[in-house]
Chain A
Amino acid sequence: MSTGRDLQGPDLARRDPEENIVLGIETSCDETAVALVAAGRRVLCNIVSSQVELHRQYGGVVPEIAARQHLANILPVLDEAFTRVPDAWSRVRAVAVTHGPGLAGALLIGVNAAKTLAFSRNLPLVGVNHLEAHIYGNWLYEAGEEARSEPELPAVALIVSGGHTELILMRDHGRFERLGSTRDDAAGEAFDKVARIVGLPYPGGPAIQRAAEGQLGSSRPGNPQAFLLPRAHLGETLDFSFSGLKTAAQRLIQKQREALANPTIPADLLADLAASFQEAVVAALISQTLTALRLYQPRSLLLAGGVAANVRLRTLIRERSTVPVWVPPLRYCTDNAAMVAGAAHFRIQRGCQHALDLDIDPNLPLALSSSEAGSMHVIPPRPGAMDASG
């Protein structure tokens, strides 16, 4: 059986890529996920057990229920993975796990599972940052596919989900800088809240998109210009804010309701409200992303996170980006463990692994290389930049 010392970069590079399988585990929110990934890219299996149905009745993820469900799901999900790739154990070279950021009680299940596997099978343990993992979703391809071309670095990454809205500069593998993040709600959270107000189910993102596209009984697609919703102006930063937009949407919906005799919003009006709200969220995301592209001149733009599944966001960002745009397939946008195994592969190549006292960190920052830590958060003045698409 291999030990941690077998895994340093040069050794890894010499191996047959198929012999370099990383077992990935992800339990940071409400998906219990396990994956086997060869050479950081080729996904042999990607098993995700979603708890979305369980949390729907509460309108969002309930941390204690999520933790209980992870404990119940973890072995069935592992079993499924190793049933699909029966000879995998002999080729697994490391166990990787998301150790933050995320829900504490949920992270605990994955981290303790990974540690126990690393200990009992004498394999190296690699803790991975959830946001870093999302970025590496862009390197993944399926076992049946040809190897894909890969994003050129440096890259700017936009990570948008129910829990995160982050702009990250990836100078190189392992060299990340956070350029901006949300000051209040995550973009996905704003979708969830507005969906709840208009009576659409959780998760809100897909529901709002369907309503905006005219798929929820309306006679036409929603008009994104039907209602003007405010854009947050956050000075000379690349941060985001969605709470003002959410409140404005809430007021608008209330006003529209008061004008109705019936408490149910007619399908055409719902389509317009959904399209206008979606447009405002997408515009905010794109405006800051385009500014980041202008300031940092990267060679690629990477999208990641569940909200990257939004068709309007994908379409507009592809139209307006000045550099090639990478968007993972939907199954690697939402939370999954293949991206965790993928990110771990690049960490291992840099000689990173963790001891068995690895802890969870619900607020884990994306690691900075020390040489760059001093220079981040400083954004040069750029007159008028905030008006770009606002």
Chain B
Amino acid sequence: MRVLAIDTSGVLASVALLRDGEVEDARVWRSHSNHTTRLVPELQRTLAAAGCTPADVGAVGVATGPGAFSGLRVGVTTAKLLCWSLDIPLLAVGSLHARAELYQLNGEIVSATDAGRGEWYWARYRRDDRGVIELSPPAVGSPPVILAACNATAAIVGESLRLPEGFAGKHVLLDSSPQAGYVAAIGVARLAWRRWKNGERDVPALQQALYVRRSAAEERKRPS
């Protein structure tokens, strides 16, 4: 059973192909905020490298967010259309969850990513015997508030994150960039594989991106 996984939630985009839980191929590239040109060609190369065709894919995993809105939509559109076209299951995975999954850590993990406007998208996770599980859902907030709210010994995971002043030294900051050997799509693929084995399936037609933030127009119109 092959799972094809897509992550376009960050500055670095990646795809991975898992066969019965083992990585067959994975690719990562710097997106330059344009996922459209590279994503489908990279999927094509990934399948070709494994000597298979789209018809050999058993399920698609995708990081639904949070992250840059357009990037998320490129990945989620591609995943939805693959599942619809090939009539295979879709497995949605949180982009922060996928990054937390890459670490063999005990204790609390805060997975975060830059949300612009001086804020982070963040969520809390912990590894137990089932794997990395979510303690709090993805939210957006200012880094000092986030760090004050989480366990003092929590490990912070996030691409190119800088801890705000006063917090350095209190937390372990781990880089989840591919330079450190981690490819987010592999985290997506593992979580998707786990969900597939548990019999979980998402409905492609209903799958949205996980934006966390409303659009600017909606925020102006209806302040919460």
Contacts and interface: CB of A to CB of B under 8 A. Distances in A.
Contacts of A74: 77, 80-81
Contacts of A358: 36-37
A113 B215 CA distance: 22
B211 interface: yes
B41 interface: yes
A298 B43 CA distance: 47
Q: Is the interface of B mostly helix, strand, loop or mixed?
A: helix
A36 B209 CA distance: 28
Q: Is the interface of A mostly helix, strand, loop or mixed?
A: helix
Contacts of B70: 67, 104-105, 108
Contacts of A119: 40, 43-44, 54
B129 interface: no
A75 interface: yes
Interface stretch (A58-66, A320-328, A329-337): A58-66
Contacts of A357: 37-38, 40-41
Interface in A357-373: 357-360
Interface in B180-222: 204-205, 208-209, 211, 215-218, 221
Range of interface residues on chain A? 20 to 34
23 contacts: A62-B215, A64-B216, A65-B217, A67-B70, A68-B208, A68-B211, A72-B208, A75-B81, A75-B84, A75-B204, A79-B84, A108-B36, A112-B39, A112-B40, A113-B78, A115-B40, A116-B40, A116-B81, A119-B40, A120-B82, A359-B34, A359-B36, A359-B37
7 A-B pairs with the lowest CB-CB distances in the bound complex, closest first = A64-B215, A116-B81, A75-B205, A62-B217, A120-B85, A112-B77, A120-B54
Interface of A: 57-58, 62, 64-65, 67-68, 71-72, 74-76, 78-79, 104-105, 108-109, 111-113, 115-117, 119-121, 355-360
Interface of B: 34, 36-41, 43-44, 54, 69-70, 73-74, 76-78, 80-82, 84-86, 204-205, 208-209, 211, 215-218, 221
